Amino acid sequence: MAFLAEFGAYLPERVVPNSEMAALAGCEAEWILSVSGIEERRFAAEGETVAELAVKAAEDCLSRAGVAASELGLVLLASGSAERRFPGPAGEVAARLGLEGVPAIDLPMASAGALFGLHLAARMAAVHGRVLVIGAEKMSGVVLREPREAGIAVLFGDGAGACLVSPDAGRARIVDSLISSDGAFAGDLRLEFGRPLEMNGRVVILQASRKIPRAIGDLLARNSRAASEVGVFLMHQANLNLIVRVAKALEVPPERFYSNIRRYGNTSSASMLIAAAEWSRSEGFRPGIPVVLAAFGAGFHWGAMLVEGSDVRRCQTLRPAMPN
């Protein structure tokens, strides 16, 4: 058994409205909003790296959990926008957190990486103890690269999210998870070194709108749960229209899906954890109420996780959060 103990997030200070992206991409600001549901996004400062974004989200998560970095047994970092081929940012993040000898594993996966990280953490916590899962992306360094495609460049933003997975107590018990991959579509969403992001939008949306509801439905069915019972769906923030499609396929109100894409755009593997961090602070888990996390990304990789709010008394082993 494993638990989601706490979440953290970091968003860069620079706010980039649609008007600014429209001028760069040669399109209308209203068009961006209509096709994506995005009004603005955050861009990292020049020189700010994926590892730096990840460290700030990690520190926020650990501070809120009241857990010292020295208590971690494993770090998993998902990113599809790391600055170099190797080494990945995981080891650097662990070093900046003051960890020595603690395994730090990179998951070079866009969009679905954090979900895959949580799936792995739920199984590895029994061996390693507390596991910190981080999703961090600096997509501005990708989408602003020439040649720039308007339909892609306007969708993305920068940020990082983190989740502490505990083997013994936390805000929500991990009930079950399901992950899948299909390499037949690898060429439809890809980022090659030194080249711009390439995306077959029609194929991506079509496959995502089919695969995400199916994964969620299969996961709920094998745990004897109905979609109508789920308190909230915390999904990768790719596109508001996609979120609405998934809600319709599951026959639940779109309002049941937490969304912050309007303010942050698509932050790839960071987005689901950023959304979870915001939702957990504004509303939060309730004992016995199921919550579903879900993601879809390049590969194609996709999946879902079912968690259930814990009784707050189960969280006594976590120390009170340290002051901000």
Q: Tell me the per-residue pLDDT of 222-270, one tens digit each, with 9 for 90 and over.
A: 999 999 999 999 999 999 999 999 999 999 999 999 999 999 999 999 9
- For residue 24, the model assigns a pLDDT of 87
Lowest-confidence range among 2-11, 47-56, 193-202, 239-248? 193-202
Q: Over the stretch 298-314, which tens digit does the pLDDT of each residue have?
A: 999 999 999 999 974 44
Nearest to 275 by CA among 255, 295, 290, 258: 258
pLDDT in tens, 86-115: 999 999 999 999 999 999 999 999 999 999
Domain count, the chain: 1
**Residue 318 confidence (pLDDT) above 90:** no
Query: Over 90: is that where the pLDDT of 55 sits?
Result: yes
Whether the CB-CB separation of 132 and 76 falls below 8 Å is answered with: yes
Min mean pLDDT across 24-33, 123-132, 200-209, 274-283 is at: 24-33
What is the reported pLDDT for 26?
A: 86
Segment 177-195 shows an average pLDDT of 94
Contacts of 157 (CB under 8 A, 6+ apart): 16, 41, 42, 43, 139, 140, 264, 265, 266, 267
pLDDT average, residue stretch 114-119: 98
Q: Is the per-residue pLDDT at 290 higher than 50?
A: yes
119 pLDDT exceeds 80? yes
pLDDT of residue 314: 43
- For position 160, what pLDDT does the model report? 99
pLDDT grade, residue 148 (50/70/90)?
Answer: confident
Least confident of 34-38, 120-124, 170-174, 315-319: 315-319
pLDDT over 80 (residue 62): yes
Q: Tens digits of per-residue pLDDT, 15-38?
A: 999 999 999 888 999 999 999 999
pLDDT score at 59: 98
Phi, psi at 177, each rounded to 5°:
-150, 160
CATH number of the domain enclosing 179: 3.40.47.10
**Range in 4-8, 50-54, 142-146, 268-272 the model is least confident about:** 142-146
130: its two tokens: 């507390």
Cα–Cα distances in angstroms (integers) from residue 43 to residues 156, 263, 270, in the given order: 9, 12, 13
Q: What is the pLDDT of residue 311?
A: 78
Query: What are 189-219's pLDDT values in tens digits?
Result: 999 988 889 999 999 999 999 999 999 999 9
Instruction: Record the tokens describing residue 215, joined without a space.
Output: 């994964």
Query: Is the confidence at residue 320, as pLDDT, over 90?
Result: no
Closest by Cα among 133, 87, 138, 116 to 268: 138
**Beta pairing, strands 198-199 & 232-235:** unpaired
HSE value, Cβ hemisphere, 13 Å, CA-based, for 81 = 32
Q: Give 317's pLDDT tier (boundaries 50, 70, 90).
A: very low
Q: What is the domain range of residue 161? A: 1-324
The mean of the pLDDT values for the chain is 94
**Cβ atoms 307, 293 nearer than 8 A:** yes
Q: Flag whether pLDDT at 322 surpasses 50.
A: no
Q: What's residue 279's pLDDT?
A: 98
